[in-house]
Amino acid sequence: MRSMKQVDVPETINWAVFKSIAPYLAEYKWRVLMAVLCLVMAKVATVYLPFVLKYIVDDLDSKQKMLAAPIALVLAYGALRLSSVLFGELRDTLFGRVTERAMRRIGLEVFNHLHRLDLNYHLNRQTGGVARDMERGITGISFVMRFMVFNIVPIMIELCFVIGILLINYGYSFALIIATAVVSYVSYSVKATHWRTKFIREANAADSTSNTRAIDSLINYETVKYFGNERYEANAYDEQLAVWEQARRKNRLSLFALNGGQAFIIAIAMTSMMGMAAYQVSQGIMTIGDFVLINAFTMQIFMPLNFLGFVYREIKGSLANIEQMFGLLDKKPSIVDVSSAQSLDVTKGTVQFNDVHFSYHEDRPIIKGISFNIERGQKVAVVGASGSGKSTLVKLLYRFYEVNGGVISLDEQDIKQVSQDSLRQAIGIVPQDTVLFNTTLIENIRYGRPDATDEDVAHAIKLAHLTEFISSLPDKEQTTVGERGLKLSGGEKQRVAIARTILKNPHVLVFDEATSSLDSYSEQQIMAAINDVTANNTSLVIAHRLSTIVDADNIIVMKDGVIAEQGTHQQLLSLTGEYAALWELQQSNDE
Contact at 8 Å (CB) between 430 and 515?
Answer: no
Residues 84, 219 within the same domain: yes
The dihedral built from the CA positions of residue 253, 255, 258 and 259, taken in this order, carries a sign that is negative
**What are the Cα distances from residue 378, in Å, to 281, 374, 529?**
101, 6, 17
Contact at 8 Å (CB) between 501 and 540?
Answer: no
Q: Is the pLDDT of residue 549 over 70?
A: yes
Q: Give the CATH number of the domain where residue 77 resides.
A: 1.20.1560.10
Over residues 291-346, the pLDDT tens digits come to 777 777 777 777 776 666 567 767 777 777 777 777 777 778 777 888 888 888 88
Residues 306, 357 within the same domain: no
Residues 321, 366 within the same domain: no
Contact at 8 Å (CB) between 376 and 382?
Answer: no
Q: Is the pLDDT of residue 2 over 60?
A: no
Residues 326, 367 within the same domain: no
The dihedral built from the CA positions of residue 536, 542, 544 and 550, taken in this order, carries a sign that is positive
Q: Would you say residue 585 lies in a domain? A: no
Over residues 350-373, the pLDDT tens digits come to 889 999 898 888 778 888 888 889
- Count of structural domains, the chain: 2
Q: Would you say residue 9 lies in a domain? A: no
DSSP 174-190: HHHHHHHHHHHHHHHHH
Q: Would you say residue 553 lies in a domain? A: yes
The Cα–Cα gap between 210 and 512 comes to 35
pLDDT at 521: 64
Residues 307, 436 within the same domain: no
Residues 442, 526 within the same domain: yes
The Cα–Cα gap between 591 and 587 comes to 6
Q: Is the pLDDT of residue 12 over 60?
A: no
Over residues 231-247, the pLDDT tens digits come to 888 888 888 888 888 88
Residues 317, 419 within the same domain: no
Q: Is the pLDDT of residue 68 over 70?
A: no
pTM: predicted TM-score of the whole model, two decimal places = 0.64
Residues 54, 146 within the same domain: yes
Q: Give the CATH number of the domain where residue 494 resides.
A: 3.40.50.300
Residues 528, 487 within the same domain: yes
Q: Would you say residue 587 lies in a domain? A: no
Q: Would you say residue 342 lies in a domain? A: no
* Residue 31, domain extent: 17-330
String of b and e for 298-317 (b: at least 16 CB within 10 Å)?
A: bebbbebbeebbbbbbbbbb
Q: Would you say residue 566 lies in a domain? A: no
Residues 440, 324 within the same domain: no
Q: Is the pLDDT of residue 6 over 50?
A: no
